[in-house]
Amino acid sequence: MKKHHLLFCLIIILTCGPNLQAQDQNFNASWLFYNDQVAGAESSDFDDSEWRKLDLPHDWAIEGPFDSKYNARAGGLPFHGTGWYRKHFTMPKNAEGKVVRIEFEGAMYNAHVWVNGQLVGNRPYGYIGFEFDISPYLNYDGSDNVVAVRLTPEDLSSRWYPGAGIYRSVWLKIDEPIHIAQWGTYITTPTVTDTKAVVQNETKVVNKSDQSKTVSIRQQYFDPQGNEVARIEEKIEIAAQATATASSYVNVEKPQRWDLDTPNLYSATTTVLDDDKVLDSYQTRFGIRSISYNTDGFYLNGRKVRFNGVCLHHDNGPLGAAVYRRADERKLQIMKDMGVNAIRTSHNPPSRELLELCDELGLLVQDEAFDVWKLAKVENGYNKFFDQWGEIDLRDMILRDRNHPSIVMWSIGNEIIEQSDKQKGWTVAKKLNDVCKATDPTRPTSAGFNWYPAPYDNNMAQQIDIAGMNYKPTKYSEVRGNYPQLPIYGSETSSCTSSRGVYHLPIEKYQTHESLQVTSYDLIGPPWAYPPDVEFYFQEQNPFSMGEFIWTGFDYLGEPTPYGGKDNSTNGRWNGHWPSRSSYFGAVDLSGFPKDRFYLYQSQWTEELMIHLLPHWNWQGMEGENIPVYSYTNCDEAELFVNGKSMGRKVKGKDKTTLLVDFLRYEPKTFDSPYRLSWEVPYEAGSIKVVGYKDGKAVEEKEIRTAGAPAKISLSVDRSTITADGRDLAYVTVRIEDKDGNLCPNADNLVNFSVSGAGELIAVGNGNAATTEPFQADYRKAFSGMALAILRSDPQTGKIKLKATGKGLKSATISVTTNE
């Protein structure tokens, strides 16, 4: 299998999945790993018999342990040091004379690769894929070959948890001397209408032989149902040791467009033929759609669409940075449930799997290249490599990704320090913008600016197509007035922080709390941050804005704001509030459990009727004291009941909730939110229930009961059947409940797990950002009454059985079937 080569076009379509070649081999199995410096490990005769055996992708740092000697800013985990990977393999005799390449989709970081003791290449940036031609270094006589990879991630190299190791897939690619180049197809659609789409294909073909050759290039196109809809064939001549481009187009009748609700995907099969002999065959998925933008907004297929977007880091919580397709799929499905239609890959190129899934699920993507250019944010950041590698890495990101229909913007940077450089900052932006336009002129460029007005006054924002504004909702109208030709949007918004299920009373706008948690009343954040409601309001007041990308959709490892340190501090260590070591920014916690904020966004971003109620109703010792009760809903009205007694009916948009605020460039200390309904009610044990009304009729309700003492464990699984491939995952939600099945909201019981059958327990979690409990263990404490267990299938079919036990609790068991 070969990863995709990407393409895209100006107004519309792109491929999305991996480009497939029959001779490509997944190279993830049977590696050897050693986590330390060791002399001579690149040599083919090095004794690695005692090294650890494992399969890729692999993140060594997530194994822990958490320790205060590691920087909490990067997750408090041992991601830096030296790691070695080695793999033994043989090559068949008939591979001699062919072109053999090894491709790494991502290795963190500063990868050096040897084959049979010979250095074949180096790539510093851990987020970009790369390949090397290893043909000259191989043995083809059946004897042993060894590939060795050394990674040397450094401390203070990242502002968040980067992971460590070969954390994305590896491929061995065996080709004839004449073959399609890496990322060698580029599909665009210069015309798209309801009746016809013009599909244009530019395919780069490499001739590694010593003779000129004329070959045929056949292009076949298939609709989303698998029917062939077009075919064309042409001959090209390729000089010896040269590359040629085959250019062609076809008309596709009545195209099925790729859109948010109908993410239709076509495929193209590109075949290189020498007479009747197939030299290479390459498959590319793409979508047919149009995008455009102006100062009034962003348009998809001619329809104005606002970004209901989230920023996402690349880790998957308890799994670390190692890529699991199901982990990314679950993450994106949860985001879609919140009403999200767009993803910003903050602040680096994402995995191939994430982009494939966005194509399949109908999510728009801003593909982001860098968090830093030449000027440092941390001591050992990418700035060390930018001069040599910046343009190369950006170009390769676009070549790899440009066929994904989901991608609608290239971002050249986030909050780069050069914003304040009046003389040269704009020249770097221009150079990177030029790279984007030369590689893919079909999409706009962007960047996230946080130092308003510097990047505008210093001619930097003018170098890109769409200016992203980080945390400046009150300045949208001012920017429009001063720079009327610049389209804008909120590239990072809100930065509200919270801990799932935690409520601090009275409601206060504090900086930090002694518990190392953050109240889930959804108003706390760092100095630049503000509640989501503020962004909702200014987006409504400025309809020309293309929308927003909230910081963040999911919690992530590292950057435990508001605890630990100051953002963008060179050499900053963030261990002042240990063990706080993970983000509180997410609308969803590190285990994938929605926080209350999830439902606030859902109430604004979805049309299916919903209603949410907070806080919990276990306030023993506070009987008679007023408890603030909030409801988030997209219904017209809501009525609150306490033990069956109405506390009043309120109208959304009319009955406002006053929020405490205190953020930069905003003078008032309160904000009257029309997006929340609230009541102050004296506490009495029992239940609270909210009923939502639409057009005067009761349509939705949510009830929370006072829970008794923890009595039992409850288990539920996201999917009861998974694939028996050794990589598929099942996520098991663990709840601590009273005897009547009510969630015990303050429970922190220790739960022990045992697994049998056709799978294993690979990670546990609970969403607590301030604990050093390991992710790889057979136990976990509940946090706010909940925990998580992640099961991975074996390659054999069967059943996985998980049993959960706890002292004084009724145990629970759940089964997952694994099929081919």
Q: What is the dihedral of CA 334, 336, 337, 340, to 10 degrees?
A: 110
Superfamily of segment(s) 712-819 = Immunoglobulins (2.60.40.10)
- Residue 24: pLDDT band with limits 50, 70, 90: confident
- Which residues does 494 contact at the CB level (< 8 Å), separation at least 6? 525, 529, 530, 531, 532, 534, 535, 548, 550, 551
Q: For the chain, how far is it from start to end, CA to CA, in angstroms? A: 18
695: left (phi over 0), alpha (psi -120 to 50) or beta: left
Residue 10, pLDDT > 70, answer no
Q: Please name the residues in contact with 387: beta carbons below 8 A apart, sequence gap of 6 or more.
A: 374
Region 100-107: mean pLDDT is 98
pLDDT number for residue 568: 61
Integer angstrom CA distances of residue 706 from 194, 621, 702: 56, 13, 14
Instruction: Look at residue 167 in the predicted model and tell me its pLDDT.
Output: 98
For residue 570, what pLDDT band results from cuts at 50, 70 and 90?
low
The rounded percent of the chain whose pLDDT value lies above 70 is 97
| Alpha carbon distances (Å) from 768 to 202, 314, 646 | 49, 19, 35
Alpha-carbon gap, residue 174 to 26, rounded angstroms: 11
CB neighbourhood size of 424 (10 A): 11
Q: Does 20 score more than 50 pLDDT?
A: no
- What are the tens digits of pLDDT across the range 288-335? 999 999 999 999 999 999 999 999 999 999 999 999 999 999 999 999
Equal fold, 291-605 vs 611-705 = no
In tens, the pLDDT along 646-696 reads: 999 999 999 999 999 999 888 899 999 999 999 999 999 999 999 999 999
Residues 762-774: pLDDT tens digits? Answer: 999 999 999 999 9
Of the candidates 51, 60, 134, 118, the one whose C-alpha atom is nearest the C-alpha of residue 86 is: 51
Q: Are strands 31-34 and 52-54 parallel, antiparallel or unpaired?
A: antiparallel
Does residue 188 register a pLDDT over 50? yes
Question: What is the rounded distance in angstroms from the CA atom of residue 767 to the CA atom of residue 171?
Answer: 34
* Fold (CATH) for 611-705: Immunoglobulin-like (2.60.40)
pLDDT of residue 272: 97
Q: 418 vs 382, 410, 414, 457, CA distance in Å?
A: 14, 19, 11, 13
Q: Which residues contact 623 (CB under 8 A, 6 or more apart)?
A: 682, 683, 684, 685
DSSP 524: B
With cut-offs at 50, 70 and 90, classify the pLDDT of residue 567.
Answer: low
Nearest residue to 614 (alpha-carbon basis) of 745, 525, 787, 770: 745
Residue 707 CA to its chain's centroid (Å): 36
H helix count then E strand count, the chain: 8, 46
Cβ pair 317, 731 in contact under 8 A: no
Alpha carbon distance 447, 372 (integer Å): 11
- What is the average per-residue pLDDT within 171-191? 96
Could you tell me which of 545, 549, 424 has the C-alpha nearest to residue 486?
545
Q: 725: which 2 tokens?
A: 């491939």
Catalytic residues: 415, 492
| CA max distance for the chain | 90
**Cα 799 to Cα 727, 752, 757, 788, 815, distances in angstroms:** 15, 20, 6, 19, 6
Report the run of H or E that residue 595 belongs to, with start and end.
Answer: none
> Helix 352-361 to helix 325-338 angle, to the nearest 10 degrees?
40
The pLDDT assigned to 572 comes to 76
What is the reported pLDDT for 796? 94
Q: What is the DSSP letter of 719?
A: -
Segment 781-806 shows an average pLDDT of: 98
**Cβ–Cβ contacts within 10 Å for residue 235, how many?**
10
* Per-residue model confidence (pLDDT) at position 15: 32
Phi, psi (degrees; rounded to nearest 5) at 386? -60, -45
What's residue 665's pLDDT?
83
Q: Tell me: the pLDDT tens digits for 383-435?
A: 999 999 999 999 999 999 999 999 999 999 999 999 999 999 999 999 999 99
Measured between alpha carbons, how far is 160 from 125 in angstroms, rounded to an integer? 15
- CATH (residue range 183-286): 2.60.40.10
- Give the DSSP letter string of 185-203: EEEEEEEE-SSEEEEEEEE
User: Is pLDDT at 519 greater than 90 in this prediction?
Assistant: yes
Burial state string for 246-259 with b = 16 or more CB within 10 A and e = fewer than 16: bebbbebeebbbbb
Structure-model confidence comparison of residues 570 and 354, the more confident one: 354
Q: With contact defined as beta carbons under 8 Å apart, do 165 and 108 qualify? A: yes
Phi, psi angle pair for 730, to nearest 5°? -125, 130
CA distance 501 to 600: 15
Q: How far apart are CA 580 and CA 342, in angstroms?
A: 29
Is a pLDDT exceeding 60 seen at residue 1? no
User: What does DSSP assign to residue 49?
Assistant: T
CA neighbor of 17 nearest in space, from 448, 334, 406: 406
Torsion angle, CA of 467/470/473/478, rounded to 10 degrees?
-40
Give the Cβ contact number of residue 193 at 10 Å.
Answer: 10
If you average pLDDT over every residue of the chain, what do you get?
A: 95
394: closest CA among 363, 364, 373, 377?
A: 373
Q: Residue 647 has which token pair?
A: 């506390």
Residue 549's SS3 state is strand
The residue-averaged pLDDT of 133-148 equals 97
pLDDT tens by residue, 234-249: 999 999 999 999 999 9
Query: Which pLDDT value is given to residue 321?
Result: 98
Q: What is the pLDDT of residues 204-220, one digit of tens each?
A: 999 999 999 999 999 99
What are the CA-CA distances from residue 525 to residues 163, 172, 309, 363 (Å)? Answer: 26, 47, 19, 28
Q: Where does the pLDDT of residue 22 fall: very low under 50, low under 70, confident under 90, or very high at 90 and above? A: very low
- pLDDT band (50, 70, 90) for residue 12: very low
Question: Cis omega before residue 506 (within 30°)?
Answer: yes
Superfamily name with CATH number, domain 291-605: Glycosidases (3.20.20.80)
User: Mean of the pLDDT values across residues 149-159?
Assistant: 95
pLDDT of 6 > 50? The answer is no
Task: Give the tokens for residue 241.
Answer: 């040791």
Residue 473 φ/ψ, nearest 5 degrees: -65, -30
Return the number of other C-beta atoms located less than 10 Å from residue 325's C-beta. 18
Q: Are 413 and 394 in contact (CB under 8 A)?
A: no
For the chain, the structural domain boundaries read: 28-168, 183-286, 291-605, 611-705, 712-819
Evaluate if residue 9 carries a pLDDT over 90.
Answer: no
Q: How far is CA 273 from the centre of its chain?
A: 39
Question: 569: pLDDT confidence band, cut at 50, 70 and 90?
Answer: low
Tokens of 586: 């997410």
Residue type, 396: D
Token pair for 18: 């991996």
Out of 3.30.360.10, 2.30.40.10, 2.60.120.260, 3.40.50.300, the CATH code matching 28-168 is 2.60.120.260
Closest CA to 153 of 117, 104, 112, 114: 112
Q: Is 308 left (phi over 0), alpha (psi -120 to 50) or beta?
A: beta
Which residues lie below 8 Å from residue 208, measured CB to CB, with a gap of 6+?
99, 177, 178, 179, 241
| H helix intervals, 224-351 | 325-338
Q: Please say whether the dihedral angle defined by the alpha carbons of residues 362, 328, 751 and 518, taken in this order, is positive or negative.
A: negative
Residues 729-742 have pLDDT tens digits of 999 999 999 999 99
Q: Residue 323: which of 105, 167, 151 has the closest Cα? A: 167
Q: In what order do the strands lie in the sheet with 130-133?
A: 25-26, 170-175, 99-104, 130-133
In Å, what is the CA distance from 42 to each residue of 84, 115, 141, 651, 702? 9, 8, 21, 69, 61
Q: Provide the Cα torsion 410, 371, 70, 380; round to 10°.
A: 130
What's the number of CA atoms in the CB half-sphere (13 Å) around residue 379?
8
